[in-house]
Structure 1
Amino acid sequence: METSDNTKRVGVGARLDRLPSSNLQRLFISQLGIGVWFDLFILFTGGPLALPIAKTLNVSKATATFYVAAFPFIGAFLGSIIYGILGDRYGRRITFLTSLLGFGVFSIISAFSTNIYELGILRFVSYLSVGGEIAIVDTYVSEFITRKGRGNWLSWMYTLAWTSSPVGALLVYLFAPVNYVLPGWRWVLLISGIGGIAAWLYRFRLYESPRWLESHGKIKEADETMDKIEERVMKMNKLTTLPPAEYVPYTTKEDKMPLSDLFKGEYKARTVMIWILQFLQGGMSFIIGTLAPLVLVAAGFTIIHSLLFTVVIDTGYVLGSLAASFVLDRYDRKAEIIVFALLLGLDGFAFSLIHIVGLILFFGTAYTFLDNFFNNSWHIYQAEIYPTRARTTGTGAAFSLSRIGTFIFLSTFVVLLDAYGAVPVFSINFMFGIIIAAVVFILGPKTTGKVLELISK
């Protein structure tokens, strides 16, 4: 590993951390957020879509939920690992462009599935394509945005992205009972695929991460990219100079870091912590979005009413992410994860006990609100705890466990819900929150406001 000589050159990290807020950051956040929008859209429409798909393809609700909402997460699990490794090896930009294109193409094809098995396979490939989206985007935000604004800017991006949840639920509600040439659920899949390709085109002007270029010895490209970024920021803000850069250590030729090295040295405790968190939150974060329609139907509400209630509940995702964008960098990231993991578990348990419409909507919306404080905290946290040479490998491997956790827990929860009702399911969910809080408290480092290169050396 070659270390910088700071007397000759100012590193990328120092140049990025001195940038003032500008429309360039807002543009980048919108370009990244629109891709994540469709990633979340396909994930959160799985549960609501399962009900009309079961009717059209003449299968049980449990079978439809498995093939439409649960089984595809195995593809997302593999995609997160594959694209995480590719992101560190070949760059951030090419990997998130490739993943989004694959998602768009296979989502369109899936709209014309003739049976539940064909649909399940195509959804699997769509999830595989988009599986690395979040890990790569979280990495890109952590590497591009200044150390004092990483959490807030990422929350703004996810606020944009999380509008996909209520929009998706609303589309399913509007299209599910109708048939315009095609059954309504097929139109929802078509819309997601076409939108994914449009988002892919919108992203083309994104730069490669200057930190990645620098860490791979591509100094000329890194400096040229930074020159362009600084020039655009100065022009947008009508500045003639930028603040002096503070010292930030950097490397110009980092050693490759294989997956096994995530369990060595200072990274061992971090990896154990984030893997446990991701595996368990894979059940916690999707439990309301996927199971709420089934819980409501089991409580005696019609399918249409349950879908309408889901639209209301899903607005909490947007509101929670919006609130987080104002406060995420004000408090310790580690403490935020602990507090919101516990609150999520408690609120979910309360949701399972209620049968009054007003309280169902209150606790359901409160859950999604709290969930996005929790999600936005760990999204930036998991990218901060690894070095540039292994950032997408580390985040991709960790996030893959959330995908496989979602597959395992949703498959299990659907069976438990059908056999025993909502209380046992959300009791397990509460236990997950307690375990996450304990593990992060014991093993998690503090990262808020720190220079990336100093968090992981």
Structure 2
Amino acid sequence: MREEATLQAGPAQVAARLDRLPITRRHRAGVVTVGLGLFFDMYEIFMSGVLGAVLADEFRLGRTATSTVLASAFIGMFLGVVVMGQLADRFGRRVCLLASIGIYATFSLVGAASVNAPMLIAARFLAGIGIGPELPLADAYLSDLLPARFRGRYTAWAYTVSFLGVPTVGLMAHWLVPVSPLGLAGWRWLFLIGAAGGFCVLLLRRHLIESPRWLASVGRTEEAERVLRDLEDGAGLPRSPALSVPHAPVTRHTPGARPSLTPAHRRRAAMMAVFHLLQGIGFYGFGTMAPLVLAAKGFSIVHSLLFSAVTFFGYPLGSLASIPLIERMERKYLIVGTALAMAGAGLAFGHAQDKVTIMVAGLCYTAVSNVFSNAYHVYQAEIFPTALRATAIGWTYSLSRVTSAVMPFAMVPFLNRFGSGTLFAVVAAAMTVIAVDIGVLGPTANGRSLEEVNEPAGAIRRSTPGHEHRADGSRPRIRP
């Protein structure tokens, strides 16, 4: 078929031309812009934990209502991830990233003006719809755009920028919650700062170019060619031959055409589904539960916010530490090792009683968890084909949001009944299962082109319904 011939040529040329590039000014600008967008994703996620006790006090909330406030943003994130991932594979990474940031900024502003708990819950839910898709969209976008040999390192730099949002929200909460600048409650200022930051990121949208890989995968080869030539000119490289090929016209998709995962990619999706159901307990569970754990140990709200702010510095420090590791160590094994280290640090934090041990264990936990986080964010974007990258990441990643939404309802009463030691034993068990899951089932990916990582798994091509074509042009089976 002429359609398949074009697709076989176009994306292969895109991949080769992207991977031969050095890192250019456009790459760096895109990484920084994405990192700043993710900064407010982290800011928003960890604001839920640091403000839980404060909002319960402000609106006189009971245990169930407090859990609902904490969970509302995560429920919104789940819906946002599922929907926006599919839209990103259909309409583009760039436009969906910008739409997500705009939705978050708008409803964070509404949250700052909340006059009662229902309004706050609704605003948090809608802000979650915007903020939830940002991480998987950023993973797909950076994986698409960055040359293979720089993919891990520069994605880790974007996340290092983003994780500065975690201690920022911790310190802001510590400074602002006890006071009311200009007569406005401190927690409202936290929402306003998040909204202002989101709108500022939108002003930098010119630094985000669309993914040439995605453009080629949907047949927009002329646009992919323009982006590639701009990158090649910026790198001072001679231009490669144009994407168009003499024996085939520019792709036009057949009506009803749809991509689907091969059996091998479905197994990878199942592996990542297990991973994300459990990593939410370990990664987001600590950020959400740490202030409540400290309060349960007898520390005041102000002191627990201070301890959280200090331990939260482990997030950018761990992210920075991942940069030299993420290309030198095979990423699947880096995920396994850090998951097991998180299990050990979590047990130490849960059983600690004195201030020094609490801070050291918490700092170690957060630092290791961000080597873990950066490794899996790069990894999950490498193991799915371009046509379904954002959808596959979105569906599997959304499960972590389900876990995060359920956590306040399950973990708060669990903490109250069994104590922090038993709570973090559960966290350690979850991280151990993750290590086995990735260690046994995960493919290797370091330094390989995305097409190479996915071709052995039978990477699909778009075609008419019922007819799928592998990366090598072969046809697996015709669906009835």
Query: What band does the TM-score fall into relative to the shorter chain?
Result: over 0.9
Distance of 2:444 and 2:5 partners within structure 1? 25
Match of 1:33 among 35, 38, 62: 35
Q: 1:327 aligns with which of 295, 311, 325?
A: 325
Shift of 1:242: 7.8
Paired residue for 1:198? 200
Letter in 1 for 2:300: T
In structure 2, what is the equivalent of residue 437 of structure 1? Answer: 435
Q: Is the contact between residue 34 and residue 138 of structure 2 (CA under 8 Å) also seen in structure 1? A: yes
**Aligned residue for 1:356?**
354
- Match of 1:229, SS state, is helix
Q: CA deviation at 1:172?
A: 0.6
TM-aligned CA distance change 1:242 to 1:358, over 3 Å: farther
Q: Residue 385 of structure 1 aligns with which residue?
A: 383
**How far 1:24 sits from its partner (Å)?**
2.6
Residue 298 (structure 1) aligns with: 296
**Does the CA contact (< 8 Å) of 1:215 and 1:253 recur in 2?**
no
CA positional deviation for 1:394: 0.3
Q: Give the aligned partner of residue 172 of structure 1.
A: 173
| Alpha-carbon distance, 1:100 to partner | 0.6
Contact 1:215 1:252 in 2 (8 A): no
The whole-number CA distance in structure 2 between the counterparts of 1:243 and 1:166 is 45
The equivalent residue for 1:284 is 282
- Return the alpha-carbon distance in structure 1 between the equivalents of residues 328 and 86 of structure 2: 32
8 Å contact from structure 1 (residues 77, 401) kept in 2: yes
Q: CA RMSD in A?
A: 2.1
Corresponding residue of 1:189: 191
Change (3 A) 1:11 1:404: same
Amino acid in structure 1 at the alignment position of 2:348: A
CA distance change for structure 1 residues 216 and 242 in 2, over 3 Å: closer, same or farther?
Answer: closer
Matched residue, 2:445: 447
Q: Which amino acid is the alignment partner of residue 330 of structure 1?
A: R
Shift of residue 64, structure 1, vs aligned partner: 5.6
Take 1:4 and 1:449, find their aligned partners in 2: how far apart are those partners?
27
Q: Which moved more, 1:409-418 or 1:366-375?
A: 409-418
Question: Retained in 2: the 8 A contact 1:47–1:68?
Answer: no
Q: 5 Å matches for 1:1-400?
A: 2-3=4-5, 11-60=13-62, 62-63=63-64, 65-180=66-181, 181-234=183-236, 241=238, 257=258, 261-262=260-261, 264-400=262-398
Question: Is this contact kept in 2: 1:351–1:364, CA < 8 A?
Answer: yes
Tell whether the 8 Å contact from 2:311 to 2:363 is kept in structure 1 after alignment: yes
Q: Is the 8 A contact 1:283 1:410 kept in 2?
A: no
Distance 2:367 2:401 in 1: 21
The answer for unaligned runs of 5 or more in structure 1 is 235-239, 246-250
Q: Which sits farther off after the overlay, 278-287 or 404-413?
A: 404-413
Contact 2:17–2:240, Cα closer than 8 Å, also in 1: no
| Number of the residue aligned with 1:248 | none
TM-score (ref. length: structure 2):
0.88
Query: So what's the TM-score if we normalise by structure 1?
Result: 0.92
Shift of residue 10 of structure 1? Answer: 7.1
Does the CA-based 8 Å contact 2:29-2:207 persist in structure 1?
Answer: no
**What is the one-letter code of the residue matched to 1:367?**
Y
- Aligned equivalents of 2:138 and 2:330: distance in 1? 22
Q: 1:242 to 1:327 in 2, by over 3 A?
A: farther
Q: Which residue identity is paired with 1:124?
A: F
CA distance in 2, matches of 1:147, 1:103: 31
Closer/same/farther in 2, CA of residues 130 and 148 from structure 1, 3 Å limit: same
Match of 1:423 among 415, 421, 424: 421
Q: Structure 2 counterpart of 1:197, which letter?
A: F
Deviation at 1:253, TM superposition (A): 7.1
Q: What is the aligned partner in structure 2 of residue 237 from structure 1? A: none
Identity %: 36
> Contact 1:72/1:123 (CA < 8 Å) preserved in 2?
yes
Distance, in Å, in 2 between the alignment partners of 1:98 and 1:203 is: 11
Deviation for aligned residue 1:33: 0.7
In 2, Cα distance between equivalents of 1:28 and 1:353: 42
Task: Tell me the secondary structure at the aligned position of residue 45 of structure 1.
Answer: helix
- Opposite residue 440 of structure 1, the aligned amino acid is I
Offset, 1:69: 2.3
Query: Alpha-carbon deviations, 1:26-74, whole Å to 9, x = none?
Result: 21111111111111110001111122212211224x3464233223211
- Counterpart Cα distance in 1 of 2:303 and 2:9: 66
Q: Relative to structure 1, is the Cα distance of residues 125 and 396 closer, same or farther in structure 2, using a 3 angstrom cutoff?
A: same
Distance of 1:411 and 1:152 partners within structure 2: 37
Distance 1:156 1:265 in 2: 33
Amino acid aligned to 2:188: R
2:109 & 2:9 partners in 1: Cα distance? 54
- Distance in 2 (CA, whole Å) between partners of 1:54 and 1:124 is 17
* Per-residue deviation, 1:4: 5.2
The 1-side partners of 2:346 and 2:388 are apart by 35
Q: Is the 8 A contact 1:49 1:172 kept in 2?
A: yes
Q: Which moved more, 1:405-414 or 1:366-375?
A: 405-414
2-structure distance, mates of 1:221, 1:88: 16
Q: How far did 1:455 drift?
A: 1.4
Alpha carbons of structure 1 residues 135 and 190: separation in structure 2 relative to 1, 3 Å: same
